[in-house]
């Protein structure tokens, strides 16, 4: 993908996540799901954790990561 400024946005982006949005630190076309490693196009990114600074491909991956991080010790 090319921008009006002729920047190539074909690689992996680096984002900073907040509770309701994200800021692009390094432009790119996608980020990787922290659970599956699958690429997620930025226009399709809907799930992330501001606490962990991670992106997720869908609600299921987000919930699985939350359960892993917040599991009670010994369970």
User: For position 73, what pLDDT does the model report?
Assistant: 77
pLDDT, tens digit only, all 75 positions of the chain: 555 555 667 899 999 999 999 999 999 999 999 999 999 999 999 999 999 999 999 999 999 999 999 988 766
Tokens of 26: 């390094």
From residue 62, alpha-carbon distances to 1, 5, 8, 29, 49 in Å are 27, 34, 29, 21, 8
User: For position 5, what pLDDT does the model report?
Assistant: 54
Q: Is residue 23 part of a domain?
A: yes
Q: Is residue 50 part of a domain?
A: yes
Pairwise CA distance, residues 71 & 51, whole Å: 16
How many domains would you assign to the chain?
1
> Residue 18 phi/psi, 5° resolution?
-115, -175
User: For position 6, what pLDDT does the model report?
Assistant: 54
Angular region, 41: left φ>0, alpha ψ -120 to 50, beta rest: beta
Domain range enclosing 61: 14-69
pTM (2 decimals)? 0.82
């Amino acid at each position: 993908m090319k921008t009006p400024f002729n920047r190539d946005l074909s690689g992996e982006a680096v984002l900073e996540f907040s509770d309701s949005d994200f800021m692009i630190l390094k432009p790119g076309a996608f980020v990787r799901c922290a659970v599956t490693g699958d690429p997620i196009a930025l226009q399709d990114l809907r799930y992330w954790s501001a606490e962990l600074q991670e992106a997720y491909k869908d609600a299921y991956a987000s919930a699985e990561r939350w359960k892993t991080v917040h599991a009670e010790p010994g369970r």
